[in-house]
């Protein structure tokens, strides 16, 4: 609740032209936006750019934001939309040249950024997520990373709940297959104590 009141005040200050309020909103939500964008794009550079874009849009359209409504769903919506557009553009082939350049550079001299990318957990996530169709990827990230319910995701993406459920189902199934999940999970884990 304190978070909600804080966001409300900051949005009002931003609407009055206070740039420090934008900075404060950025500090508070940057991790959420960055990781959501990273989950969807599976690209750290893109996620950093999208983080900027999301908050620049918040600044540009500040007057249209209703300060009495929670701020996070708006951030999720803008992030998902921008990340969606980015992935679709990349799939058109524009990104291929850039990736080839990166690959060539990596062969010669690995940077700190590239070394960090070699982190096993992240590599696994990146590969598995990248293999999913984009609509499923967005829903999975919002559901599993951001802990949003089907109803919340449906509202954010302005898509019927049935569609979200279906994307979640197929995305989950694809992830299960790519991670080799299912048979080896402990049976006790199927139940919780009450």
Task: Enumerate binding residues for other proteins (CB under 8 A).
Answer: 17, 19, 22-23, 26-27, 30-31, 34-35, 38-39, 44, 47-48, 51-52, 55-56, 59-60, 116, 119, 121-122, 124-126, 129, 140-141, 144-145, 147, 172, 175-176, 179, 181-182, 185-186, 189-194
Rounded least distance, CB 159 to other proteins, Å: 21
Closer to other proteins at the Cβ: 27 or 158?
27
Rounded least distance, CB 65 to other proteins, Å: 15
Whole-number Å distance between alpha carbons of 54 and 41: 14
Rounded least distance, CB 20 to other proteins, Å: 8
Closer to other proteins at the Cβ: 142 or 157?
142
Closer to other proteins at the Cβ: 4 or 177?
177
Rounded least distance, CB 92 to other proteins, Å: 26
79 class by beta-carbon count within 10 Å (0-12 exposed, 13-18 middle, 19+ buried): buried
CA dihedral 102, 103, 105, 110 (to 10 degrees): 100
Rounded least distance, CB 93 to other proteins, Å: 26
Question: Is residue 95 a contact partner of residue 46, using CB atoms and an 8 Å limit?
Answer: no
Whole-number Å distance between alpha carbons of 168 and 135: 9
Question: Is residue 21 a contact partner of residue 58, using CB atoms and an 8 Å limit?
Answer: no
Question: Is residue 141 a contact partner of residue 39, using CB atoms and an 8 Å limit?
Answer: yes
Closer to other proteins at the Cβ: 31 or 96?
31
Q: Is the dihedral of CA 119, 121, 122, 123 positive or negative?
A: positive
Closer to other proteins at the Cβ: 96 or 116?
116
């Amino acid at each position: 609740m304190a978070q909600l009141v804080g966001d409300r005040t900051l949005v009002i200050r931003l609407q009055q032209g206070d740039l420090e309020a934008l900075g404060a909103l950025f500090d508070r939500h940057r991790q959420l936006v960055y990781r959501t964008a990273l989950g969807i794009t599976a690209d750290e550079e893109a996620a950093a750019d999208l983080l900027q874009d999301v908050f620049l849009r918040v600044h540009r359209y500040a007057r249209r934001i209703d300060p009495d409504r929670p701020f996070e769903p708006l951030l999720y919506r803008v992030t998902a939309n921008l990340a969606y557009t980015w992935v679709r553009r990349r799939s058109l082939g524009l990104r291929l040249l850039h990736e080839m350049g990166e690959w060539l550079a990596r062969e010669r001299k690995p940077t700190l950024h590239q070394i960090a990318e070699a982190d096993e957990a992240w590599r696994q996530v990146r590969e598995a997520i990248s293999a999913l169709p984009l609509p499923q990827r967005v829903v999975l990230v919002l559901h599993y990373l951001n802990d949003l319910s089907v109803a919340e995701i449906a509202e954010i993406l302005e898509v019927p709940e049935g569609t979200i459920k279906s994307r979640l189902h197929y995305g989950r199934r694809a992830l299960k297959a790519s991670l080799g999940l299912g048979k080896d999970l402990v049976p006790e884990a199927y139940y919780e104590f009450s």
